Amino acid sequence: MCPTENDLSTVRRTLHRADGDSGNSRVEQKERTRQRLIESALALIGAGSGYTALSLREITREAGLAPAAFYRHFRDLDELGLALVEMGGVTLRRLLREARRDGIPPTDMLRGSVQIYRRFVAERSEVFRFIAGARGGGSRAIRDAIRTEESHFASEMAQDLRTLGTLPELSSATLQMICGLVVTTMLNAASDILDLPDGHIQAEREMIENFVRQLRVVFLGAARWRDD
Amino acid sequence: MCPTENDLSTVRRTLHRADGDSGNSRVEQKERTRQRLIESALALIGAGSGYTALSLREITREAGLAPAAFYRHFRDLDELGLALVEMGGVTLRRLLREARRDGIPPTDMLRGSVQIYRRFVAERSEVFRFIAGARGGGSRAIRDAIRTEESHFASEMAQDLRTLGTLPELSSATLQMICGLVVTTMLNAASDILDLPDGHIQAEREMIENFVRQLRVVFLGAARWRDD
DNA sequence: TATTACAGTGAACATATGTTCACTGAAAGG
DNA sequence: CCTTTCAGTGAACATATGTTCACTGTAATA
């Protein structure tokens, strides 16, 4: 009856979050299985099947849940897809952050950035697989969401170039246009890299080299650009 | 009863190929329904559903055939997909041919080419929808086939630039690399154009303008490029 | 402590799918 | 003319899918 008791136990549960992993409250548990669903979807994508080939039952099976449980977290597959898009967005943001933190190699800044990117694509390959697959394939809503995310990424990149003092005479609009070009080139390269027969490091080298050169062309053109 | 009668009718059918459409022989008939299957697939893609969402039964239904008839023409859906890729290839070749025939507008050759391209995308929208959708989404075999087709297209384009005398100081390898960049930019633009909410011609204008500017950056960079 | 909210279950449903098989009818060819 | 070939049929199959519903146990709450 004493009102403090329940408060205390609640608090205890809430505070114990340090040991075990990350909480036991009801909402936390729910959030955790939601994440489990998302990660199961990513795992399946990583295991080969494209996003469009994904089925609700497959995902819940992978997550160890009954099919009906899916509806407690997402209205339909597209909603799960949108969560994946968002996850793709944070991955890209992390990429930028990391590139910023590492600082740009003094001489060959382009090749350096590409190396970081290459590592990122390899490490979070499922995410890039998803984006590459759903960018043209998925439902309308998902394609739009991906486009939005790409655009945000391009803006952030333009902002970074600004702060870095690269291409100082270009207008913001032009910078944005150029970063858009860079982004599509990046995503296209990711898709190519992921489809490389593994082992053939020579083919990978060539592909990366081609990628670097394409970016060089873009920045060469950007430096030459005159707004009017 | 008279033996000539059958022969005559056969001959009549065979020779009459001029009127009606294109023949009645057994192989011709088969080829025609094969085409019907391909076009049904394209129609379904045009009507919204992505290539990966296509089903054998859906296609035969659209074509007015029993599901089992499909196997008389393709081993599985992927084989039909490869036929679609090839069709995409000839579409791109036609694009180049048409651009060549029309001749390049003296002053603004880039904007002119983009206009031709825009028209092509609009007219054969289903083909471009398919390519955009299957480029990242479809099965491994199909993605590879599309990549091959893109590469051929890039080569042919490089060849054209050579004959046209554009960028004369670039090596063939460099030219190929640059055309590769142009091709991915083109396909990306196609996918963007096709997703435009129709009616909004202002949005289309901006999108095309952005596309033109991106290509301008690429060619500006190409002109600046020095092989070493 | 008794009540409520609700994440997850398991069974059932209506529908779709790919693939098989023996078949039919008409064109092709000896 | 008689036989062979073969594109297309229609029914059946095993399997998959999305969605529903009444349910159960347990955490939250009052």
What is the arithmetic mean of pLDDT over A200-217?
97
Which of A184, A192, A198, A216 to mutate: most B Cβ within 10 Å?
A184
The mean of the pLDDT values for chain A is 90
Chain B window 128-167: residues with CB closer than 7 Å to nucleic chain D are none
Give residue ranges of A with CB < 8 Å to any B CB.
50-53, 132-138, 140, 143-144, 147, 174, 177-178, 180-181, 184-185, 188, 191-192, 195, 210, 213-214, 216-225
The residue to which tokens 């196609």 are assigned: B190
pLDDT values of chain B reduced to their tens digit, one per residue, 228 residues: 333 333 333 333 333 344 444 668 899 999 999 999 999 999 999 998 899 999 999 999 999 999 999 999 999 999 999 999 999 999 999 999 999 988 766 678 899 999 999 999 999 999 999 999 999 988 999 999 999 999 999 999 999 999 999 999 999 999 999 999 999 999 999 999 999 998 899 999 999 999 999 999 999 999 999 987
How many angstroms separate the CA atoms of A170 and A158, rounded? 11
Give residue ranges of B with CB < 8 Å to any A CB.
50-53, 132-138, 140, 143-144, 147, 174, 177-178, 180-181, 184-185, 188, 191-192, 195, 210, 213-214, 216-225
Question: Which pLDDT score is estimated for B106?
Answer: 60
How many angstroms separate the CA atoms of A72 and A57, rounded? 14
CB pairs A-B closer than 8 Å: 112
How many angstroms separate the CA atoms of B25 and B10, rounded? 9
Question: Which pLDDT score is estimated for B228?
Answer: 79
The Cβ of residue A64 has, within 10 Å, a number of other Cβ atoms equal to: 10
Count of CA atoms in the C-beta half-sphere (13 A) of B224? 18
The Cβ of residue A112 has, within 10 Å, a number of other Cβ atoms equal to: 17
Answer whether A41's CB lies under 8 Å from A133's CB: no
CA dihedral sign, ordered A87, A185, B130, B86: negative
Strand C reaches within 7 A of the B7 CB: no
Strand D bases near protein CB (under 7 Å) are 1, 6-12, 16-22, 27-30
Question: Which pLDDT score is estimated for A158?
Answer: 98
Question: Which pLDDT score is estimated for B5?
Answer: 35
Question: Which pLDDT score is estimated for B108?
Answer: 87
Strand C reaches within 7 A of the A73 CB: yes
Among A139, A118, A143, which Cα is nearest to A196's?
A: A118
The residue to which tokens 């027969």 are assigned: A197
Measured CA to C1', the nucleotide nearest B70 is D8
> Looking at residue B69, what DSSP letter applies?
G
How many angstroms separate the CA atoms of A129 and A150, rounded? 15
Buried b vs exposed e over A13-44: b needs ≥16 C-beta within 10 Å?
A: eeeeeeeeeebeeeeeeeeeebebbbebbbeb
The mean of the pLDDT values for chain B is 90
Question: Which pLDDT score is estimated for B107?
Answer: 74
Radius of gyration of chain B from its Cα atoms, rounded to whole angstroms: 22
Taking CA atoms, what residue in A is nearest to B147?
A: A192
Strand D reaches within 7 A of the A1 CB: no
Question: Which pLDDT score is estimated for B1?
Answer: 33
Q: From the CA of A75, how many Å to the C1' of C9? A: 19
Encoding tokens for residue B164?
């046209």
How many angstroms separate the CA atoms of B3 and B22, rounded? 27
Answer whether B167's CB lies under 8 Å from B161's CB: yes
Question: Which pLDDT score is estimated for A107?
Answer: 73
CA distance A14 to chain B (A): 43
Inter-residue long-range contacts of A36-40, CB under 8 Å, 24+ positions, other chains counted: A36/A63, A36/A64, A36/A65, A37/A63, A37/A65, A37/A70, A37/A73, A37/A74, A37/A80, A38/A80, A38/A83, A38/A84, A38/A87, A39/A63
A139-173: per-residue pLDDT in tens?
999 999 999 999 999 999 999 999 999 999 999 99
Answer whether B50's CB lies under 8 Å from A137's CB: yes
Question: Which pLDDT score is estimated for A228?
Answer: 79
- The model carries a pTM of 0.90
Answer whether B176's CB lies under 8 Å from B155's CB: yes
Number of H helices, E strands in chain A: 9, 0
A16-34: per-residue pLDDT in tens?
333 344 567 899 999 999 9
Among A88, A50, A128, A78, which Cα is nearest to B143's?
A: A50
Taking CA atoms, what residue in B is nearest to A128?
A: B136
What is the arithmetic mean of pLDDT over A177-182?
98
Query: pLDDT above 70 covers what percent of chain A?
Result: 89
Answer whether A125's CB lies under 8 Å from B128's CB: no
What is the arithmetic mean of pLDDT over A48-67?
96
Buried b vs exposed e over B126-165: b needs ≥16 C-beta within 10 Å?
A: bbbbbbbbbbbbbbeebbebbeebbeebbeebbebbeeee
How many angstroms separate the CA atoms of A81 and A52, rounded? 10
Which of B220, B225, B227, B228 to mutate: most A Cβ within 10 Å?
B220
Among B167, B134, B149, B24, which Cα is nearest to B96's?
A: B149
Q: From the CA of A137, how many Å to the C1' of C9? A: 34
CA distance B31 to chain A (A): 29
Strand D reaches within 7 A of the B3 CB: yes
Q: Which of A40-49, A77-86, A105-114, B123-132 has the lowest mean pLDDT?
A: A105-114
Measured CA to C1', the nucleotide nearest B32 is D7
Beta carbons of B217 and A178 less than 8 Å apart: yes
A103-123: per-residue pLDDT in tens?
766 578 899 999 999 999 999
Answer whether B61's CB lies under 8 Å from B100's CB: no
